[in-house]
Amino acid sequence: MRQEYSSRRLSRSNVSPDPFEQFSAWFDEAVAAEISEPNAMLLGTSGPDCRPSGRIVLLKGFSPAGFVFFTNYESRKGRDLSANPYCFLHFFWRELERQVIISGRAERVSPEESDEYFVSRPYESRIGAWASKQSDAISSRSELEERFAEFKRLYPGPDVPRPPFWGGFRVVPDRFEFWQGRPNRLHDRLEYSLKGSEWLLTRLSP
């Protein structure tokens, strides 16, 4: 199963010297292309045992300060990042024949930032954050549903406090790779690497 890529090209002459600006431009194009969940990204981590782990999470904001997502801090990814904050984010926008890989170090966002996002979530999602002991083994689906019902009884109104074990991470990058599919598997790959306070731009062989 092979697909030929030929719709676009990528060169040093048509990208921004700032990788955050370049990501913003590509992200806007993915949104404009009406790709389903363009903010879906693979988060790759490794824990104390050095075994890699990956899962899809949703990007909830980005700026020159970094890329933010939210999760249960006691989940597998939360435990991994507590032990080893180095991680990567991988976006794949198939319709545009593009990938972006962002590597860096994750840090927790402030409690205030986590609170602000938590109150913006739907009521049921806030209840779900309390009900799910994310990544822990459970005996059955009914156990999870019973916990959900229990917390709905505990917090019947719209005001649901943020669980102390739930919040955001910000990935602060030191490397970006922008990948554009090209014919004959001769893909375009441009890497931004942080050296001191400067971003160095390099073309990589496919």
For residues 103 and 45, give the distance between their C-alpha atoms in angstroms, rounded to a whole number: 11
What are the backbone angles phi and psi of residue 100, rounded to the nearest 5°? -135, 130
Confidence band for 157, pLDDT divided at 50, 70 and 90: confident
Other CB atoms closer than 10 Å to residue 111's CB: what's the count?
Answer: 12
| Distance, CA of 142 to CA of 138 (rounded, Å) | 9
pLDDT band at 4 (very low <50, low <70, confident <90, very high): low
Task: Tell me how far the alpha carbon of residue 7 is from its chain's centroid.
Answer: 26
Beta-strand relationship, 198-204 and 86-93: unpaired
Per-residue pLDDT, averaged over 157-180, amounts to: 97
Q: Which domains does the chain have, with CATH numbers?
A: 12-121+164-204 (2.30.110.10)
Active-site annotation holds for 79: no
pLDDT at 186: 92
Q: Two tokens at 6?
A: 């030929």
Q: Are 138 and 152 in contact (CB under 8 A)?
A: no
- State the pLDDT confidence band at 93, using cuts at 50, 70 and 90: very high
Mean pLDDT of 4-10: 77
User: pLDDT tens digit string along 121-151?
Assistant: 999 999 999 999 999 999 999 999 999 999 9
Give the Cβ contact number of residue 62 at 10 Å: 20
pLDDT in tens, 40-83: 999 999 999 999 999 999 999 999 999 999 999 999 999 999 99
C-alpha dihedral sign at 89, 55, 122, 171: negative
Alpha helices in 60-140 (DSSP H): 76-83, 111-120, 123-131
Q: Which of these is catalytic: 9, 12, 94, 185?
A: 185
